[in-house]
Structure 1
Amino acid sequence: MSETGALAKLRDSDMWWSFRRSPLVVAASLVTLIYFAGAVLAPWIAPYDPFDVKALNLMDAFTPPAWAEGGSAKHLLGTDNQGRDVLSAILYGSRVSLMIGLAAILLSVTTGVLLGLLAGFRGGWVESVIMRLADIQLTVPAILIALTLDGVTRVVLPKNVHDSVAIWVLVFSIGFAYWPQFARVTRATTLAEKNKDYVNAARIIGVPGARIALQHVLPNAWGPVLVIATIELALAIIAEASLSYLGVGMPATQPSLGTLIRIGNAFLFSGEWWIVIFPVMALVILSLSVNLLGDWLRDALNPRLR
């Protein structure tokens, strides 16, 4: 299908009609795009590099926002205790948070979908083992699983090594915590599809089981998986922020939004409110926007609501 034909099909689709009819979803999409653009372009659009120690000036520390008394036009959202520009720190922190969230969800989707396909297609003891493991993991809060895995790596790895790989520890910890949801949905779709005529026809002509699962059954699961992935992305970002806030996430030299909130919280009641309020607002708005998109996708892909 040509690009023009694909665009025309998209414009005539129910999803596009549903998208245009919801100003809240349009606004959430724009906000999400702005966040992603800001994260990707942070090195070029941020007023300062907040992690360049040579550029920091302690004389600029605790500068209020530009519109407040004592503020400076050079620092629109003020500075923190080290003289770092808060706006620049938020842009770079959003970059870290989004990268961890996306990588963690990609790991969860890959693991959960493959295990769900295997469980639904093979059945028997394979299905029982995989689904009982998923049930057991679902009884434990994701944040506790991530805390446990992070704690184990801190014991096993030296501190300097752990700090250098902290981002990948978080990705694995959060990604490992969220795979059961994807496995359950994929297994349910596989069970519904594997005995249909087109699957039986593929078996009769000798198509390998793995090829049937990946090329014929899996495409039917992408809709529900995409919905869950969108919602879980917001949860993964919040989980990363929670871990960093507790001091077991990103180090202060590579702060995410959670690290910025943890640092700013120490100065909230001493009058420097902007150090924590703006990172909190950035996290809340990002999570809310992604959640709104996930809710819309769930409704748009539900045939009963069309």
Structure 2
Amino acid sequence: MAPSPLVSLITINYNTLTDTQQLLESVEKLTYKNIEMIVVDNASKVSPGAALTAKFPWIKFIQSDVNLGFAGGNNLGIKASKGDYVFLVNSDTIVFPDFLEPIVAFMESHPDAGMATPKVLYPDGKTLQYAGAIRINPYTGRGRRLGLLEQDHGQYDKNYKTDLGHGAALIIPRRIIDLVGLMPELYFLYYEEHDWCEMVKRAGFSMYYIGDSKILHTESVSTGNDSPLKTYYLTRNRLIFMRRNFSGIPLLSGMLFFFTVSLPWNILKYTAKGKMTLLKAFLRGVGWNLTHLRLALGVCL
């Protein structure tokens, strides 16, 4: 019998020590044993290194002196990893003991699989957060998750190709990383895993949803809802993604839609609600693209 492939689980800690500890406690219960667990701290206010390595001495802990963002932090972990597969998991996820076996078995039996994400559930274990996704629309710069907020009755308990993965739980073979490169760090936060997925698909591989496996995920607690940081990066990176992944008429139409519909609509929305801080963040995101017309088009790692 061939040995089980080594899977490198990588998570980013950024002021989320409690979440990270809960994730690691769930990883300890995995029935798939050929793993390495890498925790990258993205310059938290207080380094969790001593606390984590004391409680979980089996992890590989990496301290970054600066906040490298989602892509940069994960890339740091990838560079230090040794696995045949790299599996990115958010610090605010909980994995089930048997979640890895069906994913690894699928990846091993499907050489065309460049990336895959399991079923993602909200913490109640019943409400779906992800069961695949529709590609990002070149006219709006937005995609759509399948199953979002539906109750899980087993209707998505199957495996199939999909357009986009979920950054909270994303597996990619080492050989694919060697081929296409690391996650683009230009984004810093949001859209980077979607761009990486497009890089993999352009190389001739497919993105899969694995309904045979599932994890629990709490939406981001490190950025908060309705935060200026989130507004800035979602706006900035929506435009970066469009510029890097679309061309010709779709890109021109998408930009026309943004500047004639989305831009005035968001200005009116934030102004009417008195959310001037969010309006400033939104406009800064737009402005970044106007002052970096060439940078976003390159592959920036």
TM-score range, shorter chain: under 0.3
Structure having the larger proportion of residues in strand: 2
Which protein shows a greater Rg? 1
